[in-house]
Structure 1
């Protein structure tokens, strides 16, 4: 007898894609874990927050740096020496204006990225040597950042009242860019304040002034930044990311204990909105590539709050927090491939340090072991001193513990997120699929209700292409003009010549997942993901994985109100498909394995199209310049029919 568990959900209200939009609807659940936790501790005024105790000292970081393998430590010093020659160029006004003129955000961001990365290299070199060699250059970099008109990225200046594209220095706003610069300057102030004051007391005071005027005071004075979640139920990864940077900045720099208390309380209320918004299953609506900046940034905030409260505020054992952490482990396919719906990339260099910290926070050996496995596959230099200075400081303090952690490599036979409506399953011989329901107004949405991906032994067979390099168009009313956002370029049907449409109302119905010893089955009705012009009453799609046979079956059973033009079924392949016989297609993988795809040749006629991938982001992910679209076109004018596709592995 087959033992199985069946979960069924219905379509739910979602969120608006665009970062600054206001959406109606309630949060998933008013949990308020943080404010509740703070109210249950001793009064905040008695927390006795002392940055000198809460954060690693310069000596502690230096001790870790000098114990690094010589090649890594030498590389840090070499990079610091190269950074000494940096001239700190001013960011041109035209670089900001690029965004409103032609949608380009990269030129302005490249200037800011060069500045922050150079400053970080100088700091690490000085912390490694402690000889004063880099102090003047660090001073120059910190001064240049203070002189910069804004730390806000050009793509986010629309948060200001002036929409011309140039920063208004009289209206400070807080975005991801401003927060990251504040984070960096706060650590510099923490470690080099005495050095700066020995040169001139004005240096440290200038940093404090800029951080207060650009970050701390605006944060306390306003509650209308969209990412705070105080005026709308919609939040995304911006919420924990910005709140963490604000709290860290205040903790490291602020001299007023009352001000710090105010920031603690307000950030806790704000991050509660993020936790409240999350569905109880803990899945990252924005996909695995955003996990690091969503759940991962929340983890950084929770760790900091726990440290500041001397362990009194700790929500690590709450089921939702546990689920949010383990999401990244469960949606891992193989090597650096992850399930990549929405704007997520199919390939991801996940950060072992932040995953390990999450596992430690929630006391989860599997998650810590997953992080250890990721770390083992890469040279230490490839993850230890990568990312922000903040991340690198934490990595330095934990990497030895991480290296001694027992690796956990087991893959669960299935996963199911019933509220987010994402499921996946695998066979012992390496066949893996994942599919989604949901709706077409999810954060970073693609019109992809009902789509799926298929892998064999870690190699992609049928793919979700992903997202191109971000531009102004990506987050505008013209988003769905981009081909990678359209349902026609996902593994989905085109019904009566009509594609899926974006919006809350375009969603999956009757979503169910069944998992047994032999089979895993995901099913849903995708008819409501299409507008009325599709004239479809029902389009029931199912995916079934047979673990014993090592096969995968996709079935479409539909009923139309009227026939207009032939309906189609589209499949996206990374590797060229070859018709080998009637109703049979072969997809040859680089490993030499051949995947056989059978389709009903008496009902569908197949054409194969090549689609160029000219975008550098897509090319870097797939390491190809084109993908292939299999277009199966309906034969006859049937209002009702059933199409069955079957995939066989070697």
Structure 2
């Protein structure tokens, strides 16, 4: 197989005729700041803080800065040839190579085994970054630095993964972004620094098998159960390898042809919420910048590339995440998507909108699934209603990534438990935890003027609580800004207090017991309780909760409660300018 690898490392990254224009000024500005500052310091006190307090940031902030800064220094050195950038880059590389471990503290046991070779997301991506720099600047780096890069990658990654791939749980965990990130990054590093080595062919075959396994786990239409954030993270590293493999072999090995990758551009396109955010179920974030190179490669190599090109005109892209940002990637002409409704059947998400042209237009998204998904939240039946550029009925996304967040205490956190979602509660209890607690979209009907979506949520609840839970959605497109009707039908064996909860974003005003208005930045949403006849309604909130990116949020919700053995809730949502 190695005979197919005929392209040298630098040209895998960029050829002279592929260089991007108009990036020098920005790159040099960043590189100058880096040159004038010391290499960020990572010490043991910060490292151990995670295991003492659960806080990741003290160590991961400088740890991450090092890895971001080497990208700017490498690009600046390549574009200008100036020695000061090479010298500073070499200091960074030396420092990174001196780190006791390239792993994040959150991925390590409290008591380290210094004989064990830990390989996680950061170990893998660090290896890929250093390997690409090795190829790009091979004629400029000192021999000591080049030899150190090759040695550290070999000792920390290639040899342990070659000898005992089964020791790494992510290797064949195809349904997780870990498989894509670790295998993709290792494969990229291998192409740049592993050729001619005894381990090359075995590792390459293992990586190709795992990346194909990861691709197999996509929804038939290209969706990813972990949401757009982790779709972006996983596929960025998988396609970095796919691209390197394709270019190194002059197209002889082409993983872009995988049928699910041909469709995957549909996922971010349909999850798009105008003007520039995304559906954010699970541990995903709404305000997300997608990787530039990933989106350009998808637009260039896949079936829905023209639709992806359209999306690129509307969203923010994360640039200079790796040195492939040097390359100009040609994309096809823009084509606005045709279908306004999609059902990702394998992950069981449905997303619909009135049209693609109106930035104020309504979008509705809902998920079924089960309660043991990767980056799981207890959220079977969760939905989002987006209009006027805002999520009025919302999902609050991901909480702060602390030690407790990834422990059994995870489900004490409103970001992850049922309390923080628009679900149904029976005598104060809600859905069960585990794969067996699941729901199903049983109807997804698309019409010119109205879409209907029905979910059977019965299986998401303990059987002694309910006998039937159905959630029905009618999304009308007759009105300028749409109209939404949410109907929840709940049946129990004995008389119980039954509650439906609606999460909202904005300022809520109560007009009377049946009528409310949510005021947003650009419009308002009327909420009218049509059924049941007898009910109680209260507002609730969880205050000042830390989020993934350090902000604080207050979750706000309406609790509509009635008592009986069969209750039908009907709530209409009417957007108004």
Identify the residue that residue 277 of structure 2 maps to in structure 1: 337
CA distance in 2, matches of 1:528, 1:207: 52
TM norm structure 1: 0.82
Deviation at 1:464, TM superposition (A): 0.6
- Corresponding residue of 1:424: 351
Contact persistence 1:577–1:608 (CA under 8 A): no
Gap change, CA 1:222 and 1:334, over 3 Å in 2? same
- State the shift of 1:440 in Å: 0.5
Name the SS for the 2:378 alignment partner.
coil
Query: Contact (CA 8 Å) 1:240, 1:301: kept in 2 or not?
Result: no
Structure 2 counterpart of 1:485, from 412, 416, 422: 416
Deviations 1:214-254 (A, max 9, x none): 11111211122445444xx5541111211121122122122
Task: Determine the C-alpha separation between the residues in 1 that align with 2:138 and 2:6.
Answer: 19
Kindly report which structure 2 residues correspond to 1:578-597, keeping only aligned pairs within 5 A, or say none: 578-597=509-528
Higher mean displacement: 414-423 or 590-599: 590-599
Alpha-carbon spacing, 1:85–1:225, altered in 2? closer, same or farther (3 Å): farther
Q: Kindly indicate whether residue 256 of structure 2 is the aligned counterpart of residue 316 of structure 1.
A: yes
The 2-side partners of 1:307 and 1:562 are apart by: 65
- State the match for 1:435 in structure 2: 366
CA contact (8 A) 1:227 1:235 kept: no
Query: Secondary structure of the residue that 2:366 maps to in structure 1?
Result: strand
Q: 2:339 aligns to what?
A: 412
1:382-531 equivalences under 5 Å are: 383-384=318-319, 386-387=320-321, 389-393=322-326, 396-398=327-329, 401-402=330-331, 405-410=332-337, 412-428=339-355, 430-509=361-440, 511-531=442-462
2:193 pairs with 1:253 = yes
CA shift for structure 1 position 427: 2.2
Please state how far the C-alpha of 1:410 moved relative to its aligned partner. Answer: 4.1
Alpha-carbon separation, structure 2, partners of 1:641 and 1:312: 61
Find the aligned partners of 1:157 and 1:58 in 2 and give their Cα distance: 39
Higher strand share: 2
List alignment gaps of at least 5 residues for structure 1.
1-43
| Greater RCO, CA 8 A, separation 6+ | 1
Q: How does 1:279-318 map to 2 (within 5 A)?
A: 279-318=219-258
> Taking structure 1 as reference, are residues 246 and 510 closer, same or farther at Cα in structure 2, changes over 3 Å only?
closer
TM-fit CA distance, 1:625? 4.3
Asked if 1 retains the 8 angstrom alpha-carbon contact of 2:9 and 2:136, the reply is: no
Q: Which runs of 5+ in 2 are unaligned?
A: none
* Corresponding residue to 1:576 among 507, 529, 534: 507
1:350 aligns with 2:280: no
Pair 1:143 & 2:94 matched: yes
Cα shift at 1:99? 1.9
> Per the alignment, do residues 601 and 531 of structure 1 end up closer, same or farther by CA in structure 2, a change over 3 Å counting?
closer
The secondary structure found in structure 2 opposite 1:196 is coil
CA separation of 1:169 and 1:207: change in aligned 2, threshold 3 A: farther
**Equivalent-residue separation in structure 1 for 2:41 and 2:211 (angstroms):** 35
1:562 aligns with 2:494: yes
Give CA deviations for 1:427-475 in whole Å, capped at 9, x if unaligned.
2572221111111111111111111111113221100111112111122
1:553 aligns with 2:553: no
Aligned partners of 1:522 and 1:544 also within 8 Å: yes
2:560 pairs, out of 620, 632, 648, with 632
C-alpha contact (below 8 Å) 1:373/1:409 kept by paired residues: no
Paired residue for 2:468? 538
**Residues matched between the structures, number:** 570
Pick closer, same or farther for the CA change 1:422–1:57 going to 2, 3 Å. Answer: closer
Q: Which residue of 2 aligns with 1:216?
A: 158
Q: Distance in 2 between the 1:371 and 1:413 partners?
A: 14
- Secondary structure at the aligned position of 2:564 is classed as coil
| 1:458-512 C-alpha deviation (Å, 9 max, x unpaired) | 2211001111121111221111111111122211111122121210111114622
Alignment partner of 2:144 out of 182, 193, 202: 202
Superposed, 1:153-192 pairs within 5 Å as: 153-158=104-109, 163-164=110-111, 166=112, 168-192=113-137
Please give the alpha-carbon distance, in whole angstroms, between the structure 2 residues aligned to 1:371 and 1:216.
Answer: 38
Correspondence for 2:6: 49
Distance 1:540 1:170 in 2: 54
CA distance in 1, matches of 2:258, 2:227: 22
